[in-house]
Amino acid sequence: MFETKTDHISLLVPGSISSEYGGSRKSLKRHWNQLSRLQRNFIFIAIVVVVITLLLLIPNDKPKENFNEETNHIKIEPFDEPKPAKPIFQNVLPNQIDESIKESPNENLNQNSQIVDSILEEPKEQSNDENNIKNAIDTIERETEGAKDFKGSTNNRQKAVVDAFKHAWKGYKEFAWGHDNLKPMSMGSHDWFGLGLTIVDSLDTLYIMDLQEEFEEARNWIEMYLKFDKNVEVNLFEVTIRVLGGLLSTYHLSGDKMFLTKAIDLGNRLLPCFDSPSGIPFSDINLSTMKAHSPKWSPDSSTSEVTTIQLEFRDLSRSTGDSNYEEISARINEKVHSLPKKDGLVPIFINANTGTFRNFATISLGARGDSYYEYLLKQWLQTGKKDDDFIIGDYKTAIGGVLEHLVKETPKEHHVYIGELINGKDFKPKMDHLTCYLPGTLLLGHKNGMPPTHLKLAQDLLETCYQTYMKQPTQLAPEITYFNLNGESESDLYVKTTDAHNLLRPEFVESLYYFYALTGNATYQDMGWNIFQAFEKYTKVKNGYTSIGNVKSVLNVKPRDMMESFFLGETLKYFYLLFSDDRKEIDLEKFVFNSEAHPLPIRTN
């Protein structure tokens, strides 16, 4: 707060004497009356000028945003500045694309480059024409019915989740507004891409919880300050599922076209990732220069990352009426479909230049492999369950491979779990918490026609994932759990010290939500309530919630001072929906959740 020191001003009429030296109020009045009208007007004007000057010099009492000085990223403006005119994104809209770029999906995969170039080579002067942009957005035909109404929390458990969200939001707003993540203990922020990830990830959660004031704060920041023409390196997968998915989901729920405008700008800037020699997209891109490349740490990309973008790009096509986004991203499916696999199972690394999997790479349904399988099912659902779609065939084959090669059972307590194949062949009894998304996905598939073996595996895995929580003193799951394979351990489940952290992840809560929403069984709500209370007890701090380093001790949980955006975007959203009295608050026959818990509409054409 800047302070302005203002001296007192004394205005004395000539000939007057201060009362401090014996003068009286009557003498002042007498001198005033003796002045001419011109003199009195002059003094009056002078007083007005002085008063106005003093008012202008009084410091503003409104506190400035207090961002952590160690974060020297982009300047984040305060959230409550006056709203300017709607921003104009700096790229071409879909209906400005020449019809010649709409290639057949059966053309050679290397024609991606021609399509991308056609999109990006539009005349630059059109991108700044506000009228053209407004008219283009206004003519987009939408299949949604407009804004969806949500009634807010209806029971004590939902209200507790809303209170948790408000507590986390308050800390984020006070100490990290506009930054990617909150550091609640040091009262600072952490930036990954500098795109306000927590705000964008939270948009549809705010809308679903009917937190109207907080939603307007977030919406205004998005409109005024979320700009993609900036010199930052971003990951295609992370930005697609969090930012593009968050914007599209909120557009569908709220009917606000501003979110679609932002989504189109971002989608266009990500398109050069698809301009690779193989048809497998590059994993990283600079949003300003729009130059894409493989990850700096390796020539190979994570398989899950390059195969978990189709839901969002398909929805962008169907929201704008332009097929190019969907066609380009769908070619990844064709390419991966053509590659050799182990009974449908894929290695966790793939090369964008050669279009091949890394030799002897690990096969896992955890990190770097998980959402490949998730998006096979969900793409099929998103497009109305086409019977002749090879994607659902790949999904069935893959789950068959899981049952054949990855499913094991512990010898004592008979916990069913999914392990990994090291070098593609050696079994390792290790399961990431990330894998706990799979029970919900398997049940969703079974409800849509997948075989009974999928249901049995879903039920068994759900119980095992629950035990990874309940067997810890904190009743919070570790990042990785190991299982007793051949009686080498006294316990059927054990956790290594290096894997004992909990990052506030949503995957198991997501599965509980699917089990409740698809069966109506309140047992799954009770299971979720136990876990929610553990989060409240061991991860809640004064200014939000923090990941912890040790779930094996209630006395020393080792707070890690980080609240990632997915806690608000996914974990608390799934808790809220899990505890709803209306298990169709989000109708799973009309919406499909992307990998970041952003619901997108199911469309049949």
Are 402 and 345 a contacting pair, CB within 8 Å? yes
141 assigned to active site:
no
As a whole number of angstroms, the distance between CA 15 and CA 13 comes to 6
Token output for 498: 């290096």
Residue 461 class from Cβ within 10 Å (0-12 exposed, 13-18 middle, 19+ buried)? buried
The amino acid that residue 165 corresponds to is F
Q: Looking at 103, 284, 420, 507, which residue is catalytic?
A: 507
Are 180 and 191 a contacting pair, CB within 8 Å? yes
As a whole number of angstroms, the distance between CA 180 and CA 167 comes to 17
As a whole number of angstroms, the distance between CA 94 and CA 89 comes to 13
Q: Where are the beta strands (DSSP E) in 306-443?
A: 349-351, 407-409, 416-418, 420-422, 426-428, 430-432
Are 458 and 446 a contacting pair, CB within 8 Å? yes
Residue 594 per-residue DSSP state: -
479 assigned to active site:
yes
As a whole number of angstroms, the distance between CA 276 and CA 109 comes to 9
As a whole number of angstroms, the distance between CA 326 and CA 322 comes to 8
Quick one: which of 350, 235, 331, 356 has its CA closest to 279? 331
Rg, the chain, Cα only: 29
Task: Write the DSSP string, 190-203.
Answer: E-SSSS-HHHHHHH
Quick one: which of 574, 482, 489 has its CA closest to 527? 574
Q: Looking at 223, 284, 370, 374, which residue is catalytic?
A: 370
The CA dihedral of 425, 454, 481, 494, to the nearest 10 degrees, is -100
> What phi and psi values does residue 235 have, to the nearest 5 degrees?
-90, 125
107 assigned to active site:
no
CB within 8 Å of 169: residues ≥ 6 apart: 202, 214, 568
Token output for 603: 């469309």
256 assigned to active site:
no
Residue 564 CA neighbour count, 13 Å, CB half: 16
Q: Looking at 204, 479, 510, 570, which residue is catalytic?
A: 479
Q: Looking at 191, 238, 374, 420, which residue is catalytic?
A: 238
As a whole number of angstroms, the distance between CA 231 and CA 210 comes to 35
Residue 548 class from Cβ within 10 Å (0-12 exposed, 13-18 middle, 19+ buried)? buried
Distances (CA, A) of 507 to 21, 457, 513: 81, 16, 10
CB within 8 Å of 153: residues ≥ 6 apart: 159, 161, 162, 209, 210, 576
Please identify every residue annotated as catalytic.
Answer: 238, 370, 479, 507
